Structure 1
Amino acid sequence: MTSLSKRQFLKSLIGTTALSTWAGLEETLANVTHMSATTLANQEEFWIKIRTAYPVTNDFIQLENGYYSLAAQPVMDGYLKHIQDVNSVSSYYMRTRQFSDKRESQSQLAKLLGCSPDELIITRNTTESLDTVIGGLNWKAGDEAIMALQDYGAMLDMFKLQARRHGIVNRTVSLPNHPKSDEEIVNLYEKAITPRTRLLMVCHMVNITGQILPIRQITEMAHKHNVEVMVDGAHAFGQLNFKMDDLGGCDYYASSLHKWLGTPLGAGILYVRKDKIAPLWPMFADSSVPDDDIRKLNHTGTHPVATDLAIQDAIKFQESIGIERKEARLRYLQHYWTDQVRHHPNIVLNTSEVPARSCAIANVGIAGKPPAELAKSLFSTYKIFTVAIDNPNAGVQGVRVTPHLYTTTAELDTFVKALKELAG
């Protein structure tokens, strides 16, 4: 039996892409080539055309894209095609094309992130990626790790597990919602470092407030103390325009692709700096891969390969729009609504007004109203979907609001009106 060529088997990846399902994309983009990303950010007519590429629900206003953002229709078309193609030959594909096609998706992701394909693997999500590192380090009793109260709960739980298992000591800091400077943040982490500190975990973008942290400065500071840095980039990759070189040489980086890159559910990445691969223990054994090969961390058995293939469709869709334009639009949308309510006496914003300190994500509360009650009122009365964040220990009580490229200013006007009415 002769091997099927990639052209024969997965035509959607080389030429006949899912983007062909949206014939107006090239024309729409061609009409704005003369505009800067900042200028284009508030051109509502353009973004309404972009919205047509998304299968947006009419049942409610979707302002909770941070958990899982809606994939564009061209990406979904490609994904469904991959499912059908793989299913049509089943195990034949798995034994002949699976790994080379995954390598191609991996290489494209590495190019986006600005690293070598040999330093990146495709995982299922950020939690799996970061747990691979936390659980893979060769901890000894008394070793210390540093993290923030505002970090994602699953990561904090994994560190607690290592404390139970290995006797490590977890030191937590608390991030201010409105820092005065980058130095304030860097000093906060530095003061927590002791001679026994091995690892510092830091969010690129804090998931509950949207705060962007100065990763380069934190990494450079930590490395001076011989402390490794692991970055939770769950919300940064696909939302912010950056490369690994911008992050000061951090040791580990992870993200979920079904958030802001817009892949189908179940795709993430883990970056491990080349010299840090060999010491990490894999979660699942694979005797066929040497210790210094990052693939040793990726032996998770048979999995849904169509998701890996759809990563290429998501990358192509994002690149057709451009990450600079995407970041500028998302930041514009956030400030469009936050600027209208920031000085309301009964409305509390838990996100900095400084543009460089946030992008799409913001957190807002109403004085005297529990976050769950606010989220419930927004949905039941105004058909606006958000998520309640009630974490008084971390200084964050409100709803997280995450617009996306398909969000319109008219929808945000409805949200602002709702907030003001609920705030009295």
Structure 2
Amino acid sequence: MKKRTFLKNLALSGLAGSASFQALAKTVDAYAHIPAEKLASDEGFWRKIRDGYRLKPDYINLENGYYCFIPKEILESYIETIREINFQGSWYFRTVQWDNKDKAAARLAEMFGGSPDEIAITRNATESLDIIISGYPWQKGDEAIFAHQDYGSIKNMFELASRRYGIINKIVDIPNHPKSDEEIVKIYENAITSKTKLIMVSHMINITGQILPVKKICEMAHKHGVEVMLDGAHCIAHFDFKIDELGCDYYACSLHKWLSVPLGAGLLYTKKEKINQIWPLMAPYELDHTNIKNLNHTGTHPVATDLAVNYAIDYYNKIGPKRKEERLRYLQRYWSDQVRNMPGIVLNTPKDPARSCGIANVGIKGMDPSVMAKTLLEKHRIYTVGIEYAGVNGCRITPNIYTTPEELDTFVKALMEMTKA
């Protein structure tokens, strides 16, 4: 293939031609007959997947929630794309960059829900949410609802909107161990008044891993004429769902997390009929697009990351959405079930398997979370993050598909020692 035409086709070619991906495909295909629930604990399979990751020997990494670094099957193609774009230079930017970005966005829509003209590639979930909050057609006295447990900088964006537009922010509390979906739905419903315009809900609460009944919340809110924006920063490629089946008006995600796209890619879904009511955060080259392009202009940016979305989707598809979901849930329950009733231990994540997946939060009574995280790293060579925020005191534990039960056994043993200290 001529160099001049290489990147014209790159957005659709994906990983299929790389040697590492062909090896991955053979591995996965050999286990295709095993149901996802059973494969979740088949360490022979997952050790072969682990071989695709370059892992630091310094510590056991249980902090994948911030950034799920890239397996070699994606990384090799991404680096080659950077080289090729550097070779093509301005020609690429002035010819095919937008077509290729559109194709990547269309693949995201096909994979995760929504139509291509409702999905934009942003830089991260924060930017996606800020686009909606800053561009919403607020009037003085309008009300917004969100939770204490939501992401800090997004709550601050609502505060900026309050200062700028005179809106009123109403903040609710979500229990770590709800009795039912209805309990959570009622918390949001009780905060609604005739002035409420927008509710932000975490699809998965980032500090505990609790999955909220967002579809039921959306149905309730719409009965009151209120729009819903979902913060799904941790959800896409973590567990299997379709955005447009949730009933939300807006959805945001960071693709560098569980989809393992290189840093610099996020997703924004805006329901088609809502697009034109949102003011762009940055003006596009051409004003007044009738689709999502009106909202996600960022100027010259790392276009190789846009193309790497394709590689990440190929990898995710080959692993299999249900296989990955079952593996992550299995790993979380592997360690959390062992310590849930342990004296001195506090689990800040619901026991019901449907209310969580790979992320959970655990604390030790009487121990500051920062001390807990420091002890885990310095004494037990386990890296995680301490959280003391919105009624949650503990360390967030986020394994990835490459994590082994033996590593989690080491973590459980460390907790046992620390509770006796």
Normalized against structure 2, the TM-score is what? Answer: 0.97
Which residue of 1 is the match for residue 195 of structure 2? 196
Among candidates 379, 394, 402, match of residue 398 of structure 2: 402
Q: Does 1:417 align with 2:417?
A: no
SS at match of 2:169: strand
Q: Does 1:37 align with 2:33?
A: no
Which residue of 2 is the match for residue 319 of structure 1? 317
Counterpart code for 1:229:
V
Change (3 A) 1:287 1:12: closer
Contact 2:15 2:314 survives alignment (8 Å): no
Contact 2:11 2:310 survives alignment (8 Å): no
Counterpart code for 1:293:
N
Contact 1:18 1:75 survives alignment (8 Å): no
Cα-to-partner distance string for 1:16-65 (whole Å, 9 max, x where unaligned): 64642254322321222221111111111111111111112222101001
RMSD: 1.6
User: In 1, Cα distance between the equivalents of 2:77 and 2:29?
Assistant: 23
User: In 1, Cα distance between the equivalents of 2:241 and 2:292?
Assistant: 23
Greater displacement, 12-21 / 354-363: 12-21
Counterpart code for 1:365:
G
Counterpart code for 2:92:
Y
User: In 2, Cα distance between the equivalents of 1:241 and 1:76?
Assistant: 24
Contact 1:18 1:74 survives alignment (8 Å): no
Displacement of 1:140 in angstroms is 1.1
User: In 2, Cα distance between the equivalents of 1:274 and 1:205?
Assistant: 24
User: In 1, Cα distance between the equivalents of 2:321 and 2:154?
Assistant: 28
Displacement of 1:286 in angstroms is 2.7
User: In 2, Cα distance between the equivalents of 1:189 and 1:8?
Assistant: 47
Counterpart code for 1:98:
Q
Displacement of 1:300 in angstroms is 1.1
Q: Does 1:176 align with 2:175?
A: yes
- Consecutive unaligned residues of structure 1, counting only runs of 5 or more, are none
SS at match of 2:44: helix
Displacement of 1:253 in angstroms is 0.2
Among candidates 293, 318, 321, match of residue 291 of structure 2: 293
SS at match of 2:402: coil
Contact 1:18 1:77 survives alignment (8 Å): no
User: In 2, Cα distance between the equivalents of 1:20 and 1:118?
Assistant: 34
Question: What is the 5 A alignment of 1:182-261?
Answer: 182-247=181-246, 249-261=247-259
Contact 2:15 2:311 survives alignment (8 Å): no
Displacement of 1:197 in angstroms is 0.2
Contact 2:142 2:195 survives alignment (8 Å): yes
Contact 1:10 1:85 survives alignment (8 Å): no
- Consecutive unaligned residues of structure 2, counting only runs of 5 or more, are none
SS at match of 1:277: helix
Q: Does 1:366 align with 2:403?
A: no
Cα-to-partner distance string for 1:95-141 (whole Å, 9 max, x where unaligned): 01101111111111111121111001000000000000000011111
Contact 1:375 1:388 survives alignment (8 Å): yes
User: In 1, Cα distance between the equivalents of 2:30 and 2:357?
Assistant: 26
Which residue of 2 is the match for residue 308 of structure 1? 306
Change (3 A) 1:163 1:9: closer
Which residue of 2 is the match for residue 164 of structure 1? 163
Which residue of 2 is the match for residue 377 of structure 1? 375
Which residue of 1 is the match for residue 96 of structure 2? 97
User: In 2, Cα distance between the equivalents of 1:271 and 1:91?
Assistant: 30
Displacement of 1:291 in angstroms is 4.7
Which residue of 2 is the match for residue 152 of structure 1? 151
Moved over 3 A (4+): 7-13, 15-19
Which residue of 1 is the match for residue 386 of structure 2? 388
Contact 2:147 2:171 survives alignment (8 Å): yes
Counterpart code for 2:410:
T
Contact 2:15 2:74 survives alignment (8 Å): no
Which residue of 1 is the match for residue 142 of structure 2? 143
Percent of aligned pairs sharing the same letter: 53
User: In 1, Cα distance between the equivalents of 2:224 and 2:103?
Assistant: 37
User: In 1, Cα distance between the equivalents of 2:318 and 2:414?
Assistant: 35
Change (3 A) 1:104 1:136: same
Displacement of 1:293 in angstroms is 2.1
Counterpart code for 1:410:
E
SS at match of 1:314: helix
Contact 2:4 2:88 survives alignment (8 Å): no
User: In 2, Cα distance between the equivalents of 1:28 and 1:338?
Assistant: 29
User: In 2, Cα distance between the equivalents of 1:192 and 1:106?
Assistant: 35
Cα-to-partner distance string for 1:312-334 (whole Å, 9 max, x where unaligned): 00100010010100000000000
Contact 1:3 1:96 survives alignment (8 Å): no
